[in-house]
Structure 1
Amino acid sequence: MKLIGRNLSPYSRRIAIAMTLLDVPHEREYLSVTADPDRGLEINPVGRVPVLELDDGERLIESGVILDYLMELVGPAKSLVPPHGRSRRDCLQLMAIATGVLDKAVAAIYEVRRRPAEKVHEPWRQHLLIQATGGLKALEAHKQNPWMLGDFLTLADISAGVTVSFLRVMLPELVPADAWPKLYDLCERCEALAAFQAHPLETP
């Protein structure tokens, strides 16, 4: 298998970390679709990463789809999503919130970095930041000890961990340490894991 995408992308990074935690062998193609949009469109109809290319040539797109495939691949005994009940729903909900925070934060970053200064719409950027903050509040409120769901590591932790790490670098004003003590604790726990250290966050 080949995972395509840079570790600057938290969506790609969470796949790489999960694959390492699950001992799923894979190669990497560190693609920037901004630098090489033609390659992006070649592997994904909408030109985005991550993409997981399977051994038979099938390509899976979108990190949620890829993670679902990986959990099916390793089976319920190794899955990083609880098998049923409230804990499963909580895990999936928290993953959705974490990626929602990323979606809004990335849009806010692009509003400044991808537009000429005179075309930045600050009210829209502030709206995006409010939405991202709402998601962070939900994650902070739900965080148990030591992990999001208590004693066991799940994809909710990986998703929240890569989100906070990304924001600390790319949008630090959104995540001051004193505002999110539980999420900072989670981020530090995650980044101390060998699987996280094997796929460090890239900087632009």
Structure 2
Amino acid sequence: MMRLIGRNLSPYARRVAIAMTLLDVPHEREYLSVTADPQRGLEVNPVGRVPALQLDDGDTLIESGAILDYLMDLVGPAKSLIPPHGKPRRDCLQVMAIACGVLDKAVNAIYEVRRRPAEKVHEPWRQHLLTQVAGGLAALEARAAAIAAPGQWLLGQHISMADVSLGVMMSFLGVMLPEAVPAGRYAALENFRQRCEALPAFQAHPLETP
């Protein structure tokens, strides 16, 4: 059976776990913190990051985008959470890219204050990162606010990886970088987050706290 490695504090590991549940892909979990066990992190990924997915044939895939690409190919286009072609595919990948870009910048902003001595924090750089986060959130807020009708997802009637990535992103920011998502600023995204977190697949892989 496949084994997904990485704890749910990582939004990248969490979005893969949620996708595997939505796709009904059997798997085991190894809840690895590469901060607590960097040696194990290097064993499963040459750059010591999660997630990693160990396949039945012994291969190991790294990085959530590559893992998700494998999973969508595994289940086929009828079940895939990423449309196979055309504008729906482009739209899905663009939302995923913005959500992951926000997460990348947010993680860097978090590390700037949590991994450096206070006297070495470079606040202008941190503010630049937060500006990039805000830019991505504004774009995603507009996208979430434009959903045509209640009950629809970003690409229509069916949930996609665009939705999963956005929901995971918002939950992570709310816990790890709440200053980036103050109450009331991103109402559509917050409503979207609540809707995602109510799904059984999200509840099966709850966001961990540090």
Please name the residue that 1:181 is paired with.
187
1:166 equivalent to 2:172? Answer: yes
Between the aligned residues of both structures, percent identity stands at 76
Q: Distance in 2 between matches of 1:171 and 1:93?
A: 23
State the 1:151 CA deviation.
Answer: 2.3
Unpaired segments of 5 or more residues in structure 2? none
Tell me how large the CA RMSD over aligned residues is.
0.8
8 A Cα contact 1:2 1:28, kept in partner? yes
Letter aligned with residue 154 of structure 1:
S
Q: Distance in 1 between matches of 2:160 and 2:192?
A: 12
Residue deviations 1:41-90, cap 9 Å, x none? 11111000000000111000000000000000000000001121111100
State the 1:185 CA deviation.
Answer: 1.1
Please name the residue that 1:154 is paired with.
160
Give me the TM-score of the superposition, normalised by structure 1: 0.98
8 A Cα contact 1:164 1:184, kept in partner? yes
Please name the residue that 1:66 is paired with.
67
Please name the residue that 1:192 is paired with.
198
Please name the residue that 1:121 is paired with.
122
Q: Distance in 1 between matches of 2:155 and 2:117?
A: 43
1:8 equivalent to 2:9? Answer: yes
8 A Cα contact 1:4 1:31, kept in partner? yes
Letter aligned with residue 74 of structure 1:
V
Map 1:97-116 onto structure 2 (within 5 A).
Answer: 97-116=98-117
Secondary structure at 1:52 match in 2: strand
Unpaired segments of 5 or more residues in structure 1? none
Q: In the comparison of the two structures, how many residue pairs are matched?
A: 204
State the 1:139 CA deviation.
Answer: 0.8
Letter aligned with residue 87 of structure 2:
R
Q: Distance in 2 between matches of 1:190 and 1:65?
A: 23
Secondary structure at 2:184 match in 1: helix
Secondary structure at 2:193 match in 1: helix
Residue deviations 1:98-137, cap 9 Å, x none? 0000000000000000000000000000000000111111
State the 1:150 CA deviation.
Answer: 3.0
8 A Cα contact 1:5 1:50, kept in partner? yes
Secondary structure at 2:53 match in 1: strand
Please name the residue that 1:49 is paired with.
50
8 A Cα contact 1:147 1:186, kept in partner? no
Map 1:33-48 onto structure 2 (within 5 A).
Answer: 33-48=34-49
1:91 equivalent to 2:104? Answer: no
Please name the residue that 1:20 is paired with.
21
Q: Distance in 1 between matches of 2:36 and 2:209?
A: 15
